[in-house]
Structure formats: structure tokens, C-alpha cells
Structure 1
Amino acid sequence: MKINTKYHGEIEVKPEEILTFGYGIPGFGEEKQFILLPLPENEWFHILQSVQTPQLGFVVTNPFVFIKEYDFELDQASVESLGSPSEKEVQVLSILTIRETLQESTANLQAPIIINLANRKGKQVILTNTDYQTKHLIFAQPAGKKG
């Protein structure tokens, strides 16, 4: 099937590539189907593109690339809603807010997106009892150096 996208124009999508968010994404509850698209010439960032709404595309990244110590535990209800995936079947993403100066860009570590790669189910989880923020600087320290 063909879909229109925010950053990639019109593209062909295979049904097996579609991610299903049973509850949508907070603030976008009616948006239940997304596809993960690479950003050309950028291995760190991807677009989580709505299948339904061309202008809805979130810039996302693997948070562990930028914040090595990032760690959290999923609540049992979230695990079950994703189909109880094993650790190897899980992909974790953070939605980014890209600023004009890349150094000021932030990641939402308080609400990671969890994807079960085995069944293509996704969910944005709101972490409670955590110090993680919705606007965590991803370039807070030089790459490869401990702060």
C-alpha cells in the first residue's frame, strides 16, 4: 500500500512493516498505525510515521546510544499489552525534540516507546517514580567521555 509521509513523500509500505499501537500515542489516541523509517544518511535518527496522517511523523532514536545508563522496568500491564515479549524482541525508542542547534535537542526519557518486534505491537509508556524527564539533553556530554 502507498502512504504519504512528512519527510519521505509518497512511499510503498508492506503490511508486515506496520506497527500497531492499540491505544495510540498519548495526545494522538486515534493514531494506531505507524511505520519506522530511516532518515537518509543518518544512522542515529528515524521517523515514526503515522500511516493515516501524512504530517504526523516523530523523530525518534535509540536512547541507549546517547544515555548509556538509561534504565527502567515496564509495568506488567504494559508487558502484557505488548504480547509479553522477551527482552531480545523489544526495541526501545525515545521521541526527540530537534532544535535549531542540534546540541540543544532533547529526548523524552520519561515516556519511551516500546516495540515488540515479534508481533509489531507498540506502546508509549509513561514512567512514574523516575527522575527521567520529557526534555533530557541528548548531547549533554561529549561522545565517548564519562561525565
Structure 2
Amino acid sequence: MTDTVHSLETSRFGSVSYDEKDAIHFAQGIPAFEEKKNWILLGEEDDPVKWLQSLDDGNLALPVSSPFYVDQGYTLDIPGEDADAIGLDRSKPDRTGVLVVITIPLDSPWEATANMVAPIVVNLDSREARQIVAIDERYSVWHPVLSAEAKAAMQGRESQA
């Protein structure tokens, strides 16, 4: 099997090359972006925040992260209907990827929040994905990304600049 490399012009990253096998497909799109079905994940391996870049619109990229960077104790119960829709094999939990969308205010990045209620679940074998709603009272759509100490440190650096 040969790999198929494509190029995409993006507003945020310039020209990006990607392998077709790395594309992530959302059959239903992502809420608010239902027409955008194909995406790639961009960013360095060790970066806690990556970018979910639309392959259908070079101007659209969403900051995302592992929910475990936000809350090390994060747990997720994926409803059967959602697992079936993307072909998850529950006997292989290591083949399931989970991302949360991050909102980063331009003027106060220390106030970044993560949507822990609607994670993106990816079947790492088929590259099929779906944003699901996980009702869990511990989390919110605006779950703080940074601890109070980290926020204070960032604000201190900002005021010194």
C-alpha cells in the first residue's frame, strides 16, 4: 500500500503536507462545522495543545488537547451508540483517542478553558471520529485549563512585559 501525500494551504500554518492515512473523518462533521468532514491533527509530539485543522477549509483550525492534560483523573464513558458509529472496539481501549476543544481568549490566555463535556473521540485504527456529549457533573464546557497558580504566574509575566 502506498501513502498518498497531499498539500493544503492554511491561513494559520501556511502550506501543510499531510499523508492521507493521517486524515480524521467525521461522518457528521463537528457541531457548528457540520459541513467540514475531514481534518488532520497538527503540532509537535510533546506540545500539550495541538490544532485540529480542517482539510475542507484552510482557514479553520481548532485548538485541542488531551483531556488528561487538563485533568489527570478524567474519565469518559462513551455511549454505545457513539462507539458503534465510529467502530470502536471496546476490548482495545488503547486504540481510542480523546481530545477536548480549547478556547483561548486573545487578551487573557491564562483564562483558557476546555470543553470537557463534549470530547472528540477518535478510532485510531479507522480514523473515524465523533464529538460526543458526556454528561458528567464534574466537568463543564468551560473547564479551566490552568491551575490558579499557573494563571497567577502567567498574569505576572504579562504585567511585567
Q: TM-score, normalised by structure 2?
A: 0.81
Question: Residues 90, 141 of structure 1: CA spacing in aligned structure 2 closer, same or farther, 3 A cutoff?
Answer: farther
Contact 2:70–2:114 (Cα < 8 Å) also in 1? no
Runs of 4+ in 1 over 2 A off after TM superposition: 128-131, 140-143
User: How far apart in 2 are the matches of 1:142 and 1:65?
Assistant: 16
User: Residues 40-73 of structure 1: CA distance to partner in whole angstroms, max 9, x if unpaired?
Assistant: 9x61110000001011100001110121121120
Where 2:68 maps in the other structure, the secondary structure is helix
Structure 2 partner of 1:84: 88
RCO higher in structure (CA 8 A, sep ≥6): 1
Contact 1:45–1:59 (Cα < 8 Å) also in 2? yes
Q: Give the count of matched residue pairs.
A: 142
Structure 1 gap ranges (5+):
none
Decide which structure has the larger Cα Rg and report it: 2
Structure 2 gap ranges (5+):
1-5, 151-161
Structure 2 partner of 1:36: 41
Q: Is 1:128 matched up with 2:132?
A: no
Q: TM-score, normalised by structure 1?
A: 0.89
Structure 2 partner of 1:21: 26
1:93 to 99, 104, 120: 99
Q: Is 1:7 matched up with 2:8?
A: no
Question: Residues 46, 6 of structure 1: CA spacing in aligned structure 2 closer, same or farther, 3 A cutoff?
Answer: farther
2:67 to 47, 63, 67: 63
Where 1:70 maps in the other structure, the secondary structure is coil
Across the aligned residues of Structure 1 and Structure 2, the Cα RMSD in angstroms comes to 1.8
Where 1:132 maps in the other structure, the secondary structure is coil
Seq. identity, %: 27
Contact 1:4–1:11 (Cα < 8 Å) also in 2? yes
User: How far apart in 2 are the matches of 1:138 and 1:96?
Assistant: 8
